[in-house]
């Protein structure tokens, strides 16, 4: 389905981005991985998918510009890289705020602004953001993340309108809790911020949000991303698809 297409998936050495990269590669796309991690493990992922890897630190706009120049034009851009920090606002470290805004929001602006000219020239493109249920609703102690994800939804709607007549779509996918390292790593801070045990955080904070009482699977998010890359999704742009076990229906 995606033969002849080149796809950059940011933050694809782990979790949701890795699942998206795998499904795009399986459909024939030439995939460029991006993200941090153990070089041997990343090399194995490249072998598995016939992919290449660019290790740009997306918190640095100069590194993003260098990455986009090095990899050349892409048809599919998945702005997925992200991080979380959990803390009451008055204790929220300003450097964590800046880092989350840089990675979860500004990086997508920079990759997009540099990818769009070639997409417009070809008259075809797919821009997908892994946003979050937190692009639509808030939770306490996640001020930077919620701010960045709400902004991603606004950014995506804006570029969807700008690109609407160019064959380029832009959409958000907004998962609820997906079992990945990003979720696992926030459990200790949430235990501290809320004075809870690990089990209480799992059941009373995380899964409490999801009426299905189960985590979303990275592969299910990837299947939705693949659909949005297909021709049948040509009329879908500026949308924000939840895949959150019913969280935002409440």
Residues that bind ligand NAD (CB under 6 A): 11-17, 34-37, 57-59, 80-83, 103-104, 130, 132, 175, 177-178, 180-183
Tokens of residue 46, six digits: 């490249």
Active-site annotation holder among 97, 141, 145, 177? 145
Nearer to ligand NAD among residue 20 and residue 159 (C-beta):
20
- At closest approach, how far in Å is the CB of 83 from ligand NAD? 6
Distance CA 245, CA 210 (A): 5
Residue 118 and residue 9: Cα distance in Å, rounded? 17
94 versus 181: smaller Cβ distance to ligand NAD: 181
User: For residues 61 and 123, which CB has a smaller minimum distance to ligand NAD in the complex?
Assistant: 61
To 5 degrees, how large is the angle CA 165–CA 171–CA 174?
Answer: 170
Q: How far is the CB of 171 from ligand NAD (least distance, A)?
A: 14
Alpha-carbon gap, residue 143 to 98, rounded angstroms: 12
| CA 112 to chain centroid | 13
Nearer to ligand NAD, 124 or 207 (CB): 207
Helices (H), the chain: 15-26, 39-49, 61-71, 94-101, 107-122, 143-163, 181-194, 198-200, 218-229
Strand partners, 33: 9, 53
**Shortest gap between Cβ of 59 and ligand NAD (angstroms)?**
5
Shortest Cβ distance from residue 238 to ligand NAD (Å)? 19
Between the alpha carbon of residue 105 and those of residues 2, 13, 120, the distances in Å are 27, 19, 22
Q: What share of the chain is helix, strand, coil (3-state, %, to 5)?
A: 55, 15, 30
Instruction: Report the residue number, 26 or 182, with the smaller CB distance to ligand NAD.
Output: 182
Q: Provide the sign of the torsion angle of the four alpha carbons 103, 105, 106, 108, taken in this order.
A: positive
Nearest approach in angstroms of CB 10 to ligand NAD is: 6
Quick count: other Cβ atoms within 10 Å of Cβ 98?
13
Our answer to whether residue 177 is catalytic in this structure is no
Residue 233 CB neighbours (<10 A): 17
As measured in angstroms, the least distance from the Cβ of 19 to ligand NAD is: 8
> Which residues form the catalytic set?
145
């Amino acid at each position: 389905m995606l033969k002849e297409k080149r796809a950059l998936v940011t933050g694809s050495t782990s979790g949701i981005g890795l699942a998206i990269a795998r499904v795009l590669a399986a459909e024939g796309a030439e995939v460029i991985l991006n993200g941090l991690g153990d070089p041997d493990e990343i090399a194995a992922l490249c072998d598995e998918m016939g992919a290449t890897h660019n290790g740009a630190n997306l918190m640095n706009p100069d590194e993003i510009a260098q990455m986009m120049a090095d990899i050349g034009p892409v048809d599919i851009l998945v702005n997925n890289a992200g991080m979380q920090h959990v803390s009451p606002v008055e204790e929220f470290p300003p450097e964590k705020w800046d880092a989350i805004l840089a990675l979860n929001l500004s990086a997508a602006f920079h990759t997009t602004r540099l990818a769009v000219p070639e997409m417009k020239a070809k008259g075809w493109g797919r821009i997908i953001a892994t946003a979050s249920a937190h692009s639509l609703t808030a939770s306490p102690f996640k001020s930077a993340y919620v701010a960045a994800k709400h902004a991603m939804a606004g950014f995506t709607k804006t570029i969807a309108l700008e690109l609407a007549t160019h064959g380029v779509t832009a959409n958000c996918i907004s998962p609820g809790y997906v079992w990945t390292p990003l979720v696992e790593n926030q459990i200790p801070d949430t235990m501290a911020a809320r004075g809870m045990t690990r089990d209480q955080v799992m059941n009373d904070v995380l899964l409490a949000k999801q009426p299905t009482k189960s985590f979303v699977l990275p592969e299910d998010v990837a299947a939705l991303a693949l659909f949005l890359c297909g021709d049948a999704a040509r009329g879908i742009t500026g949308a924000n698809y939840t895949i959150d076990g019913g969280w935002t229906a409440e």
